[in-house]
Structure 1
């Protein structure tokens, strides 16, 4: 077995906010910790590990050839991403982040240090004593139960995978409405949906939809941004040729690009522009990709556009390896195990908008309607004030999560809005009117 251990707490202390031109913090940037020992690689590994810049990283490149499941957003940290579930462009090949989490170290509300995995939980008490049990409930809860709920995780150990021998990128973009007034969005989405539900697991990535005019006078964009885990000359890669050949006269662009390694591909990943936005989410099943969903998406792209705000959607491909994990093996919403896409809708506005309260209301309404097409929501991408959030975020896993919360943190030392145990309202220090006014992030202490 191949594993990598990441120390979460030192990274949060040592990595400052890096607002460089690329809006990311990479090795070699001033914001990245210089001490490579913060990331420990097991000595049993061989091959190459892809890490850019600096002589120390080049040394590791010469030794390892492994990847871990992670998101494509370079500004996303490991802790919250993993504890909420963690989908990735590689998830169709290797599963969610929590499917690859082998062990964690956590500081609990009473100051104990816990090391937990799927076969034991070891607790080091403040008096120096140590106990070990085969009860692994805290590890199960941490594999999808959400960040900042059960304790502060200071270390993760992940399963490593061999990096792809090659990565083939597929970028294909169409407008929603052409300059000549021809509405092609429905036909394009119908074609894309028919392909995605049967796509080989080697393909992963995103469907990107936006309701903004482009410089050439077209309105909106429907784009596939996918990557293939494997060589260019393969049957699985060729499964997207039908999209490449679909109405070439409509395409803004459509091409394959071959990379010699996953690292070479990942270096090219670009962060999307930053906006103030309100996001909502739903998990789409195979039977969710209906004409009604297409009509809803295209209608909202048109009606939500103004000179100060617009709507965008990001569909992360699911399925593949994710579907092979049991519904209750981890604590993520069981709907993840049957979903084909995690679709997030973001109502965004420019920095010139001072009063955005009406946009929040509209974004929330879009979310409520969007949820009619899916089954459950991804907690890391969900909106505010979600109705029946316990079921939406965790489904049939919620009652077990709540029992574990009551066992490990009965006084709600760790709490946040719509986190496990929030409905008990046992601790809401910012409330003067019976409502919870805490920030959306976790709150520690009393």
Structure 2
């Protein structure tokens, strides 16, 4: 039976089926496009990724997660899995999908007497933000490896690997993950550790088997790929004596056109090596904004040190703190707990419009070519209303003690110095330029790829060349085989996720071809359309530009006997709806 509310069946018929399903859920709630709450529950942090699901299920139990998966499979509906909306590339949302919203699954259980780890563990639901978890573990005098951005959620962050301001001392999030519970496409409920899998089958029977593949794959293979994670168990750690935040801000060029960036870059290259003490973490930021004194751009360090100033690890960077003192701003602040440190990190723009990209940068990548590219990239004015910035998370340290094949993240994570992410961002006035901005971001993504050894999928760009290799490197083949073993129909799928090439509809690709004059990776996405299909933004209305960049349908659904849809083909009105929604939210 095929239910198409625009042709064979009235929409009331479709929504009566939705109603019967949602009434059957035990404790969860649902939201449809006609509900007042729909606008808020479908909002993405990166508002360019706003989409319009057919139905949102706000699950509270793993049983309702299981029922939602079964319903989506029964009616051949693509399922998207939403945690907190921090998803720059929109993998957790989609038009005409069933969106499984996990934001209400906020269980938190601390066990300081756990046999699983000497300093205790915490079991958390996927709906928690990291700030909620930080507050909970702080009550017990512990710390945990999580995101520096307070509103980032547990699920996608962890399943993608998870770097942190303190990962150089404690390891990545997946290095601290002990157990994950996941609901699979066929209804199995799996609880996995690094060497075993416990399964509850649909008929109620159970099994316990030795399995080193499952946990390896899900802990680093990315969210929305193998199943829906409903619980995580993490290691806890005793906290440092104190945390010191050090901020240094230099101009890229001085008022008299002195290249300050080049000098500081050389100093950083001298100090930021494998000898950098594990106690140091934090970020490096680069932007092209002018300041009040006529200087151009900013090169900033926002570093954190675990422990007091009266230590050899802190003194290691003192020569940086004293470098070009008349050319920089310097600030140092001491925090008694990691929670207090995190409270000081404020999201200036909780909602934004941006296209991002990423590369894993090692010491050998800190070349003059990279230095000059970064300067050019942030100072160049690509369009009237866009700007390019970079934030590099300091990694390495403890992370390097884990083997390149011990987890499924790209092997480059275990040798890199920075996970450097760039963004081409714009405001409401840049919306008419979205086509041009998007094409420029894809070009920069291609260019920037050559400077690193791999990419962080959680922060990488869409239209990434040879994404399988760039995201997971030599680990991809094993990930692919485990994906087919656990989800042979590729029910769980998202853009540039493991196995998604089996579901990708190449005819709806939105990836432009970068300029051939630019030196880029030798590989290009298999879904790149011919150059004749590219249309200049000058000849497009804003709505049609959005339609090209964000097609309504990206994936070819599996054909089954039952299907539900609100339309039979790509709906051009969705692009207009998206444009008007962006204007509305930006005016709030």
Q: CA offset at residue 193 of structure 1?
A: 2.6
Q: CA offset at residue 58 of structure 1?
A: 8.7
**In the aligned structure 2, how far is the partner of 1:438 from the partner of 1:422?**
17
Q: Which residue of 2 aligns with 1:39?
A: 108
Q: Aligned Cα RMSD in Å?
A: 3.5
**In the aligned structure 1, how far is the partner of 2:59 from the partner of 2:218?**
16
**In the aligned structure 2, how far is the partner of 1:190 from the partner of 1:144?**
33
Q: Which residue of 1 aligns with 2:464?
A: 386
1:226 aligns with 2:295: no
Q: Secondary structure at the match of 2:428?
A: coil
Taking a change above 3 Å as real, the CA distance of residues 336 and 368 of structure 1, as seen in their structure-2 partners, is: same
Deviation digits for residues 357-386 of structure 1, max 9, x if unmatched? 111111111121111111111111111111
**In the aligned structure 2, how far is the partner of 1:128 from the partner of 1:201?**
47
CA contact (8 A) 2:83 2:153 kept: no
Q: Which residue of 2 aligns with 1:138?
A: 214
Taking a change above 3 Å as real, the CA distance of residues 440 and 240 of structure 1, as seen in their structure-2 partners, is: farther
Q: Secondary structure at the match of 2:407?
A: coil
Q: Which residue of 1 aligns with 2:75?
A: none
Q: Which residue of 2 aligns with 1:152?
A: 228
1:424 aligns with 2:424: no
**In the aligned structure 1, how far is the partner of 2:444 from the partner of 2:138?**
45
**In the aligned structure 2, how far is the partner of 1:304 from the partner of 1:9?**
45
Q: How many residues align?
A: 418
Q: Which residue of 2 aligns with 1:27?
A: none
Taking a change above 3 Å as real, the CA distance of residues 133 and 420 of structure 1, as seen in their structure-2 partners, is: same
Deviation digits for residues 299-351 of structure 1, max 9, x if unmatched? 11221366511110011111101100011111001111111111111111121
Q: Secondary structure at the match of 1:342?
A: strand
Question: 1:66-215 counterparts in 2 under 5 A?
Answer: 66-197=142-273, 198-215=275-292
Q: Which residue of 2 aligns with 1:309?
A: 386
Q: CA offset at residue 218 of structure 1?
A: 2.1
Q: CA offset at residue 256 of structure 1?
A: 2.0
Greater shift after overlay, 274-283 or 122-131?
Answer: 274-283
Q: Which residue of 1 aligns with 2:398?
A: 321
| 1:299 maps to which of 368, 371, 376 | 376
| 1:217 maps to which of 294, 301, 306 | 294
Q: CA offset at residue 59 of structure 1?
A: 9.3
CA contact (8 A) 2:245 2:305 kept: yes
**Structure 1: which 5+ runs fail to align?**
1-7, 19-32, 52-56
Greater shift after overlay, 181-190 or 159-168?
Answer: 181-190
Q: CA offset at residue 194 of structure 1?
A: 2.2
Taking a change above 3 Å as real, the CA distance of residues 218 and 312 of structure 1, as seen in their structure-2 partners, is: same
**In the aligned structure 1, how far is the partner of 2:301 from the partner of 2:444?**
23
Taking a change above 3 Å as real, the CA distance of residues 351 and 326 of structure 1, as seen in their structure-2 partners, is: same
Report the TM-score when normalising by structure 1: 0.85
Q: Secondary structure at the match of 2:376?
A: helix
Q: Which residue of 1 aligns with 2:439?
A: 361
Greater shift after overlay, 127-136 or 257-266?
Answer: 257-266
Q: Which residue of 1 aligns with 2:367?
A: 290
CA contact (8 A) 1:149 1:414 kept: yes
CA contact (8 A) 1:118 1:136 kept: yes
**In the aligned structure 2, how far is the partner of 1:165 from the partner of 1:430?**
57
CA contact (8 A) 1:416 1:438 kept: no
1:370 aligns with 2:448: yes
**In the aligned structure 2, how far is the partner of 1:103 from the partner of 1:221?**
42
Q: CA offset at residue 438 of structure 1?
A: 6.7
Greater shift after overlay, 432-441 or 309-318?
Answer: 432-441
**In the aligned structure 1, how far is the partner of 2:507 from the partner of 2:153?**
27
Q: Which residue of 2 aligns with 1:350?
A: 427
Q: CA offset at residue 205 of structure 1?
A: 0.7
Deviation digits for residues 274-321 of structure 1, max 9, x if unmatched? 531111111111200011110111111221366511110011111101
CA contact (8 A) 2:508 2:553 kept: no
1:406 aligns with 2:484: yes
The structure that has the greater radius of gyration is 2
Q: Secondary structure at the match of 2:453?
A: coil
